[in-house]
Amino acid sequence: MRGTRRPVGRSVSGSGFFWPISSSRSMPGPYIIRRLWAKCLHLTEVYHFHDMIDMLVECGYEKGTTLFGYGYDFRQSNRIDKALDDLRVKLESAYKASGGKKVNIISHSMGGLLLRCFISLYNDVFAKYVNKWICIACPFQGAPGCINDSLLTGLQFVYGFESFFFVSRWTMHQLLIECPSIYEMLPNPDFNWKQQPVIQVWRKPSEDNEAVELDVYDSTQCISLFEEALRDNELTYNGKSIALPFNFSIFKWAADTRQILDNAQLPSSVGFYNIYGTSFDTPYDVCYGSETSPITDLSEICHTMVSDTSSLYNLCILMLFQSLIVEISEFLMVGSQPQYTYVDGDGTVPAESAKADGFAAVARVAVKSAHRELLKDKRVFQLLKQWLGVNENSQHSMSSSKVMDVSIEPIPTQLSTRHLL
């Protein structure tokens, strides 16, 4: 993908491996947030919101009438003007469509950060149109292990056989390095973590030096590591090399976003509910290299997860031997994978971060489920129906119930049901 860097770091644009996604304005119902990429096959890993939408419909919500979808570009900053302005219009239109009834919002993951920015910048508007906000798996204080590693080695959504039909980890890395939203999910350096998340690097100062050192970078020091490790990062597009170093303009923008997030005050008229995942090993600290296989040059970190399994030839071979995919992948990666220290969470967001919303919550509930699986978890559905006051197969008039907007993420998104779910 080739991106256009904006000096202020607020927005990125590009063309490449992303299929076009129609604007939610042309799709009155929640289709826009039903799956991660609109033209993708029905893979469980990317077909995010299908089950929740079906559950809400069974409870009496009507697509395009009391159940709406709000889709937005997950690459952009959570406080970019277009996203917030469009959300404001969506809230107002749902409010009017329901005859002046306030909206209930359900958000997932990064969608919660977009809403928090909206609250901070448009507090009066949020108070006017929103009744309840149900937040699921939001990285309020960041996602240390996943985001730190994403900036250095990339991000992988799908594993196993299906991964060969999806965006590769390294291609995703070259995209994320220019995404303001990723920088905005770096661990909050001002948050009082039980233990400060760190990045560790086993280093050999030089080829001639036999000594091995363990360098440790906390959230206030890791910027120097990102700068050095990404100094020679580049991608090739149409035969041309494009430099993609650590983007300081975007980082500065993200630091200002963190202040906006920290300053958010929930209106007293809005009920806030927080659901977060637990019981899954969640990356926290990450270590590159080892005492027996140290890193000489920090730029080596960015290539620790690159393997030669993406060619058409290799793909054909792997299709014939599906049972060997995991073993082959592990063989190709042996000795090069980063090592993680894990904490309790949903596998992506630490529980410590997800429950640190700082609001006067009506309820905060831990659910034993993984990050994306929370969107189809039966316990989560029970909580939603309880808090929304609805039941499956309910035939009651939606005019007497509430509208909702679902801020579910296509990697972030917002959905709306009788208020905007």
Which of the residue ranges 155-164, 240-249, 298-307, 346-355 would you say has the lowest mean pLDDT?
155-164
CA distance 150 to 222: 13
CA distance 139 to 276: 9
**Catalytic site includes residue 173:** no
- CA-nearest of 123, 91, 106, 140 to 33 is 106
What is the token pair recorded at 160? 């196993």
For 92, phi then psi, to 5°, come to: -65, -45
pLDDT, tens digit, 9 for 90 and up, residues 74-92: 889 999 999 999 999 999 9
Q: State the sign of the Cα–Cα–Cα–Cα dihedral 347, 276, 411, 54.
A: positive
pLDDT, tens digit, 9 for 90 and up, residues 3-12: 333 333 344 4
Q: Hunting for tokens 């920290």 — which residue is that?
A: 262
For a pLDDT cut of 90, what percent of the chain falls above it? 54
The b/e string for 236-270 (b: 16+ C-beta within 10 A; e otherwise) is: eeeeeeeebebbeebbebbeebbebbeebebeeeb
List 48, 108, 173, 371, catalytic entry: 371
Task: Count Cβ atoms below 10 Å from residue 211 Cβ, excluding itself.
Answer: 9
State the pLDDT confidence band at 38, using cuts at 50, 70 and 90: very low
According to DSSP, the β-strands at 271-278 and 130-136 are parallel
pLDDT of residue 58: 94
Tell me which amino acid residue 174 is: Q
CA distance 138 to 409: 10
Range picked from 163-172, 328-337, 349-358 for highest mean pLDDT = 349-358
Q: Which phi-psi region, left, alpha or beta, contains residue 119 (left: φ > 0; alpha: ψ -120 to 50)?
A: alpha
CA distance 62 to 342: 41
Q: Which helix (H) or strand (E) holds 103?
A: strand 103-108
Q: Is 173 or 388 the better-scoring residue by pLDDT?
A: 388
pLDDT, tens digit, 9 for 90 and up, residues 156-185: 655 565 555 556 666 777 778 889 999 999
**Catalytic site includes residue 371:** yes
CA distance 6 to 310: 31
Q: Can you list the domains of the chain with their CATH numbers?
A: 2-7+31-402 (3.40.50.1820)
Q: In the predicted model, is pLDDT for residue 377 greater than 70? A: yes
List 51, 346, 357, 377, catalytic entry: 346
List 11, 109, 163, 353, catalytic entry: 109
Averaged over 194-221, what is the pLDDT?
Answer: 90
Mean pLDDT of the chain: 78
**Catalytic site includes residue 377:** no
Which of the residue ranges 127-141, 282-296, 322-336 would you say has the lowest mean pLDDT?
322-336
Contact 404, 67 (CB under 8 A): yes
Which of the residue ranges 31-45, 188-202, 254-268, 351-365 would you say has the lowest mean pLDDT?
31-45
Contact 173, 302 (CB under 8 A): yes
